[in-house]
């Protein structure tokens, strides 16, 4: 697909509401062309952006949930049997069995926003040209979960494989569900943990490992005929993403644009392959969001584009392959702040397109 959004707006995912009924009208009003389903972390730990995706690991008892923490207990006497059950389901899903793939679906209580979004789309997609979903990144999950001895799952090859396959299969299921409405689908992989690469405390985490795990998720999304992007709101080694087979890189353009500049040659190659940059231009920190308006944000974007133009990237390319988003998720803000942020996204986008 030749994806040229030309400044269309979309969101990251999380919103600070207790019900989908409060979130969906905001999305419909300000992001009608590329609406996203709302994550609602204020509903409780079941809607935490990691916990949402753990159902198959919990159902097969590979993960233990005590109510206070969720962890892998590899000392369980039934561990081998549980592994066999998980991989049997996973392999069946890989072979195209719908019932097996459905095992990787959200529980309804863990993603009320997703199912409400599906119900809304059944009434009519209206002016939507694309639907956006989101999944947690495998690196982020594997550095959130631990084993029974308190070691990160990422450092255990078996546990890391379980996490990657769980996220990939869920991404495949979610893309399939959203594709039912006959519109192109874009799935963002929310992967803040890329920032651990290069840090002294994580020297065994290699770029090859990160790329391998992400590519497994990307391939699952592509297999369903959907586009894939990665959202990371930190200054990271962007070459990891620009060298991957994905369509969109979403970064915090408000706070971390300078981190992109050293990778301008790779950005140019990314554009030449058909890639898109999603500019997280609208800040999501309280004081920053109040400091900016449409004109100031457009001035910031123009300045940033000028830096890339100096490095050989045509302005027309920057415009054609541009999405506008918040800098990060908004689940911890107030409803009033989020309303302002979404208005700014829509207004910046409208100005760019006119």
User: pLDDT tens across 157-192, in order?
Assistant: 999 999 999 999 999 999 999 999 999 999 999 999
- In which domain, by residue range, is 54 found? 8-353
User: Side by side, which strands form the sheet with 276-282?
Assistant: 8-9, 322-326, 276-282, 248-251, 227-232, 185-190, 131-136
Residue 225 lies in a domain: yes
For residue 1, pLDDT over 70 is answered with: no
Q: Are 330 and 14 in contact (CB under 8 A)?
A: yes
For residue 328, pLDDT over 70 is answered with: yes
Q: Are 329 and 39 in contact (CB under 8 A)?
A: yes
Mean pLDDT of the region 284-310: 91
Q: Are 111 and 35 in contact (CB under 8 A)?
A: no
The reported pLDDT for the residue numbered 285 is 83
Cα separation, 250 vs 311, whole angstroms: 20
Residue 347 lies in a domain: yes
Res. 82 pLDDT band, cuts 50 70 90 = very high
CATH code, 282: 3.20.20
Lowest mean pLDDT among 132-141, 193-202, 241-250, 298-307: 193-202
Residue 3 lies in a domain: no
For residue 210, pLDDT over 70 is answered with: yes
The reported pLDDT for the residue numbered 354 is 87
Res. 89 pLDDT band, cuts 50 70 90 = very high
Q: Are 174 and 53 in contact (CB under 8 A)?
A: no
Cα separation, 121 vs 115, whole angstroms: 10
Residue 1 lies in a domain: no
Residues 6+ apart with CB under 8 A from 186: 10, 34, 130, 131, 132, 133, 226, 227, 228, 229, 247, 248
Is the pTM of the predicted complex or chain greater than 0.85?
Answer: yes
User: pLDDT tens across 48-71, in order?
Assistant: 989 999 999 999 999 999 988 999
Q: Are 148 and 74 in contact (CB under 8 A)?
A: yes
Residue 2 lies in a domain: no
> From its phi and psi, is residue 333 left (phi > 0), alpha (psi between -120 and 50) or beta?
beta
Residue 39 lies in a domain: yes
User: pLDDT tens across 116-166, in order?
Assistant: 999 999 999 989 999 999 999 999 999 999 999 999 999 999 999 999 999
Mean pLDDT of the chain: 96
User: pLDDT tens across 225-250, in order?
Assistant: 999 999 999 999 999 999 999 999 99
For residue 115, pLDDT over 90 is answered with: yes
The reported pLDDT for the residue numbered 164 is 98
Question: Burial, 336: exposed, middle or buried (Cβ in 10 Å; 0-12, 13-18, 19+)?
Answer: exposed
Res. 2 pLDDT band, cuts 50 70 90 = confident
- C-alpha radius of gyration, the chain, whole number: 20
H-assigned helices in the chain: 20-30, 55-59, 79-94, 98-101, 112-122, 138-142, 157-179, 207-223, 239-242, 264-272, 286-291, 294-310, 315-320, 335-353
Number of domains in the chain: 1
Q: Are 110 and 45 in contact (CB under 8 A)?
A: no
Mean pLDDT of the region 203-210: 94
Cα separation, 232 vs 55, whole angstroms: 24
DSSP symbols for 130-148 = -EEEEEE-HHHHHTT-EET
Res. 296 pLDDT band, cuts 50 70 90 = very high
Q: Are 34 and 107 in contact (CB under 8 A)?
A: no
Considering all CA atoms of the chain, what is the largest pairwise distance in Å, rounded to the nearest integer?
A: 64
Phi, psi for residue 69 in degrees, rounded to 5: -150, 160
């Amino acid at each position: 697909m030749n994806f040229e959004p030309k400044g269309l707006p979309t969101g990251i995912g999380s919103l600070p509401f207790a019900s989908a009924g409060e979130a969906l009208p905001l999305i419909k009003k300000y992001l009608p062309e590329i609406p996203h389903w709302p994550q609602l972390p204020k509903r409780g730990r079941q809607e935490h952006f990691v916990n949402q995706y753990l159902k198959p690991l919990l159902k097969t008892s590979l993960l233990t949930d005590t109510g206070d923490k969720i962890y892998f207990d590899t000392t369980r006497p039934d561990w081998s049997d549980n592994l066999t059950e998980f991989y049997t389901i996973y392999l069946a899903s890989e072979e195209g069995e719908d019932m097996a793939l459905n095992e990787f679906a959200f529980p309804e209580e863990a993603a009320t926003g997703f199912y409400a979004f599906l119900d809304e789309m059944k009434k009519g997609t209206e002016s939507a040209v694309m639907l956006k979903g989101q999944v947690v990144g495998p690196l982020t999950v594997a550095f959130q979960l631990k084993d029974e001895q308190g070691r990160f799952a990422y450092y255990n090859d078996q546990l890391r494989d379980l996490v990657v396959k769980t996220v990939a299969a869920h991404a495949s299921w979610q893309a399939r569900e959203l594709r039912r409405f006959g519109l192109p689908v874009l799935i963002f992989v929310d992967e803040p943990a890329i920032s651990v690469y290069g840090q002294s405390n994580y020297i065994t985490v290699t770029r090859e490992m990160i790329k391998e795990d992400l590519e497994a998720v990307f391939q699952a999304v592509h297999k369903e005929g959907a586009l894939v992007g990665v959202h990371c709101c930190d200054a990271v080694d962007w070459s990891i993403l620009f060298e991957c087979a994905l369509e969109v890189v979403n970064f915090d353009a408000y706070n971390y644009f300078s981190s992109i500049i050293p990778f301008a040659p790779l950005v140019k190659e990314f554009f030449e392959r058909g890639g898109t940059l999603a500019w997280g231009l609208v800040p999501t920190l309280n004081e920053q969001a109040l400091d900016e308006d449409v004109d100031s944000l457009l001035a910031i974007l123009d300045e940033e584009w000028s830096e890339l133009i100096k490095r050989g990237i045509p302005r027309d390319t920057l415009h054609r392959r541009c999405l506008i988003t918040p800098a990060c998720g908004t689940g911890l803000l107030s409803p009033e702040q989020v309303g302002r942020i979404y208005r700014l996204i829509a207004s910046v986008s409208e100005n760019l397109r006119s």
